[in-house]
Each structure stands twice: as structure tokens, then as C-alpha cells.
Amino acid sequence: MAHVLCIGTEKGLFTARSDDDRRSWEIGVPQFQMTNVYAVGVDKRSSTNRLLAGVTSSHFGPSVAVSDDLGATWSEPDEPPLAFPDAAGVALERVWQFAASPTAAGVVYAGTQPSALFKSTDGGQTYDMMPGLWNHPHRPQWGAGFGGQAIHTVLPHPSDPDRLLVAMSTGGVYRSEDAGVSWNPANKGIKAYFFPDPWPEFGQCVHKVARDAGDPERLYAQNHHGVYRSDDGGDSWGSIADGLPTDFGFTMVAHPSKPGVLYTFPIEADGRRYPPDFRCRVYRSTDAGATWKALDNGLPTDDFYPVVLRDAMCTDDAAVTGVYFGTRSGEVFGSADEGDSWSLIAEHLPDVLCVRAFQV
């Protein structure tokens, strides 16, 4: 049994492997050198544990590649695998997210910049834009955060193939109940302090949404200020920020099998993007956000300044769940015991943009 950790950075994709139950890791040479890798996906349904990578060269543009040998080699088609149709009048800037459908073999969704949702029916090799969301009448009013205008969260429903949820910065949460044909905003209760009306129907800067392991109607959201939970599939949201040192941050990760367990890495504030008190701490809740506990056993004790970006925290699918996060200063930390204790997996990497981990 081995564990694989994919680390997408500003300058390439690093793949780490552990053959001793995550006590030590060997890191391979980076793939896609001099490209930024904002998105890595793992399709555990495939016999090869297919990896998906969204890579962007500052010179030569974006692309999507797949690997069927755990990242040793990658392939992409000659024709653009993911491109906007001519009528859209825009070009792909970046893929921010992959999500394999839990209900349909071979279906993979991709969230992009500019904000659009794409669908693949060949296991993530080629994609078509889903016009329903692109043609939404709200789209001209969606904005762009500092990182660009992007759909960074894609959550297919675990059992109903017609139900999809996306989140974007900026724009907020949108849901479809007809397999992506039509979409409605789902932001009631999420504050957008940066608007004259801080409670708009849409326009929120949602940073990440995660779905609870036990109840598919229970969702967790980290916002541009504001940490929220919905118990009704996104119909309404309420704050779960009490007990956290701050309500700002980018990450939101749900435990893959334990209901009510979630992780985040708080950041002090929009205008002060450091960990609170300059301390490197992950926060875990085991009661769906009612209470939180700081986790720092094994994490740096010196002053700590880097932040963790929205996809730079993840869990794995081992029997005892591992938790991982990477920083903008190129460090990657891991826990093999659900966050109780941590160790350094890698350092001196480029800025970490995303991490994904799984067992093979």
C-alpha cells in the first residue's frame, strides 16, 4: 500500500510518494516545469487512478493533461482539450478545479477562468462548455477577485446526477437541479461586506465550499470574511465562525468519511493576510462547526507568515485519514492521524497552489 501526494505549484507539479504509511515521502522531479498548476484531480473510479492536471504557461497558455501512471508521464490531445466555443468570445485562461462525477463513469467537470463549467465524457481528456451557466443572465455582473474570475468549486451531488453546485469568486454559489441546464444562486445568509448592500442575491466572494461526509445537504463555506454552514443544500447559510480566531481564509475541507468533521486554515483578515498571531495552526471541528480546536502538534512554533490557498489543503482516502496543506512559501505539511500530529513533507518548493492525496 502506497500513498501519493500531488503538489501543484507556481512552477510545476511535484508528486510525492510514501511507502511506509506516510512516515516518509520521496518527491519526484517536477512535471510541467515553468507552468503554474492550479488544479489537480484524481479519478479514483478509473483502474489507473487517473490524474488530471490543469496547467498554465505564462507564455504559451493553458492546457489540460492526464496521467495513467501516477504522474510519471502525461498526455494531452493535439487539439485544445478544453476551449471556449467561438461564440463565447473569450479564451480559456486557467482551469481551477476538476471534479469526477460520483454517478456517471467517465464524466469529469472542470471549473475555469473566466467563470464557466465544462464537462468531459471521456474521463477528462476533452471537454465541452456547459452553456446553461455561461448564458446565465447574472454572468455580466459576476466580478473578479485578485486571482481572476473563476469557478473554483465544483460539487456534483453524490447520488443525484442532476444536481450540481458550483462556487465562484466573485459571484457566489449557484446550483442546478437539471444536470446543468439551468442555474440559480444560493447565497442567502452569506454576507458580501464589500457591496453597498451586503446581502445581495449573488456577487459574494466565496472562497471554497465543501460537502459533509454524511449528509449531502450539509455544506461548509469559507468566504471572503465569513465561515458558514448550510443544512439545506444551500437554501440558507448560517455562521460557524464562532470559535475560530478569524473568519477570513481560503480553505474549507470536509473529512471524507466522518460526518461533521472539517478543517480550515484561518487567515487574519482581508487586509492582513497572515496566520492569526503569526502562528501556523490548522483548525478542526468535529461537530459541524459548532466548536473548533487548534491543531499545531508538530507544526512550526516560530513566527509563521505564509498563507494557505483555497485548494492547498486536502485529505486522503486512507483508513486513518491523512490531512495535508501547502503554503505560499513552498512548505508542505502532512498529518497521518486526522490532524492530531503533523510533520514536514517538503520545503523550498515554489508557491503551493493545490494539493491532492490518495492511497494506491
Partner 1 sequence: MGDDGCSTVSVTVLVPGVLRAECGGSSTLALRSGPTLGALLDELAACQPRLHRRIRSEQSVIRRYVNVYVDGEDCRLTGVLATPLRAGAEVQILPSVAGG
Q: Pick the closer one to partner 1 by CB: 87 or 319.
A: 87
Write out the residues near partner 1 by the rule CB under 8 A: 34, 57-61, 63, 78-80, 83-84, 86, 89-92
DSSP string computed for 103-140: SSTT-EEEEEETTEEEEESSSSSS-EE-HHHHT-TTGG
Which residues touch 187 (CB under 8 Å, ≥6 apart)? 172, 173, 200, 201, 202, 203, 204, 206, 237
CA distance 234 to 162: 16
Q: How far is the CB of 109 from partner 1 (least distance, A)?
A: 19
Alpha helices in the chain (DSSP H): 131-134
Residue 24 or residue 57: which is nearer to partner 1 going by CB? 57
Asked if residues 276 and 300 have their Cβ atoms less than 8 Å apart, the reply is no
| Smallest separation (angstroms) from partner 1 to the CB of 19 | 32
Contact indicator for 170, 149 with CB cutoff of 8 Å: yes
| Shortest distance in whole angstroms from residue 85 CB to partner 1 | 8
Coil vs helix vs strand at 152: strand
> How many CB atoms neighbour CB 241 within 10 A?
20
| C-beta closer to partner 1: residue 82 or 241 | 82
Rounded to a whole number of angstroms, the minimum distance from the CB of residue 62 to partner 1 is 9
Q: Helix (H) and strand (E) counts for the chain? A: 1, 29
Q: Which amino acid is at 213?
A: A
Identity of the residue, 65 or 70, whose beta carbon is nearer to partner 1 in the bound complex: 65
What is the sign, positive or negative, of the torsion defined by CA atoms of 220, 344, 49, 114?
Answer: positive
Shortest distance, CB of residue 67 to partner 1, whole angstroms? 17
Q: Positive or negative CA dihedral for 67, 73, 79, 83?
A: positive
Dump the DSSP string for 333-345.
EEESSTTSS-EEE
Q: Choose between 55 and 332: whose C-beta lies nearer to partner 1.
A: 55
Nearer to partner 1, 77 or 300 (CB): 77
Least CB distance from residue 61 to partner 1, whole Å?
5
Of 78 and 197, which CB lies nearer to partner 1 in the complex structure? Answer: 78
CB 150 → partner 1: shortest distance, Å? 17
